[in-house]
Structure 1
Amino acid sequence: MRIGYARVSTADQSLDLQLDALNADGCERIYTEKASGAKDDRAELAKALDSLRPGDVFVVYKLDRLARSTLKLISTLDDIKAKGAEFVSLSDKIDTTTAAGKALFGMLAVFAEFERNVIVERTKAGLAASRARGRSGGRPKTDRKKVAQALKLYDSKAHTVAEITDMTGVTKATLYRAVRERESAE
C-alpha cells in the first residue's frame, strides 16, 4: 500500500499541491496535518508511521514536509525501514525501492552521522575550554545544611514547598530528590 503524508506549517496554507501529487502517485491513504515541522509530536505523522506494514511505501511530496533537521529525517527514515517499508519523496526524486534511492539514503545517513559527530566534538571542545577557564559544568553543588533544613521544614508540614524553597534557597527538585533518597534508604 502507498501511504502519503502531507503537511503545511500554518492553518492558512493549502495542502492542495501536495495532495494532488500524492493522489497522482497512487497513494491509497493520505494523512494530512497543519503543524510546524519543528514539532516532534505531530499526531497525523505518528498515525501514518504506525499504519506502515512490511512492503508498504511511505510517500511525501518533499523531504522538508517530513522533518526539518537531518537528524530527525534520518531517525524517521530508520523507523520506516525498521517496519519493512520503503520511502519516496516525489520532488526530491528519492525512492528507496530502487538501487539509486537506497544509495542516496545511505549517503544521507552518513551525513547525519557526521553531523552528530561534529556536535559531540564541539560539545567536548566547549567543555574543555570552560574547564581551562576554571569553570566546571554540571549541576551546582548542593549545600547539605540547607537541604537538611529544608527536609526538617518539609517534615514539620507547617510550610508549603514553595515557602520552604523561598526560606532555604533549595530548589523544589532538590527537595523532592532528597525526600526520595531518604525514603529509599529507609
Structure 2
Amino acid sequence: MRLGYARVSTRQQADSEALDQQIARLQKAGAEKILYDIESGRKDTRKNFNQAIALAKSGVITELIITRIDRLSRGIIAIHRTIETLQNAGVTLTILDSPLG
C-alpha cells in the first residue's frame, strides 16, 4: 500500500488550508491512504506518525509519501532514524519537494 503522511504544527495551520493542501498533493501522488497529525514535528509521540512507522515495520505499506522531509521530524537525528527504519522495512520514501528530484 502507498501511504501518505501529512503534518502541521498547529490548529491554526490546519485551519489555514495548509493541511488540506498537503493531503491533496499526497492524493495526487497516488497515496491510497493518508494519515496526518496536528502536532509539532519535535514530538516523538505523534499518534498517526507512529502508526505509519508501525505499518512500515509490519510490511503493510510499500511506500511512504510526504510533501517535505520536515514532515517526518524537525530533528536531523530523528529524520535519519526514520529513514533507516523505512529502509530496513523495505519501504520506499517519496518526498514530493525533494531537492534531489
What SS is found at the alignment partner of 1:88? Answer: strand
Larger deviation, residues 85-94 vs 43-52: 85-94
CA distance, structure 2, for counterparts of residue 26 and residue 86 of structure 1: 13
Structure showing greater radius of gyration is 1
Once the two structures are superposed, the pairs formed by residues 1-186 of structure 1 within 5 Å of their partners are 1-14=1-14, 15-52=19-56, 53=59, 56-93=62-99
- Letter of the 1:26 partner, please give it: G
Higher relative contact order (CA 8 A, sep 6+): 2
CA distance, structure 2, for counterparts of residue 24 and residue 46 of structure 1: 23
Structure 1: give runs of 5+ residues left out of the alignment: 96-186
- Letter of the 2:48 partner, please give it: E
Offset from partner CA, 1:137-168 (integer Å, 9 cap, x none): xxxxxxxxxxxxxxxxxxxxxxxxxxxxxxxx
Deviation at 1:93, TM superposition (A): 5.0
Query: Percent identical across equivalent pairs?
Result: 32
Q: How many residues align?
A: 95
Checking the alignment, whether the CA contact within 8 Å between 1:54 and 1:85 is kept in structure 2 is no
Offset from partner CA, 1:94-153 (integer Å, 9 cap, x none): 57xxxxxxxxxxxxxxxxxxxxxxxxxxxxxxxxxxxxxxxxxxxxxxxxxxxxxxxxxx
CA distance, structure 2, for counterparts of residue 71 and residue 85 of structure 1: 19
Q: Deviation above 3 Å: which 4+ runs of structure 1? A: none
Higher strand share: 2
CA distance, structure 1, for counterparts of residue 2 and residue 71 of structure 2: 17
CA distance, structure 2, for counterparts of residue 38 and residue 56 of structure 1: 25
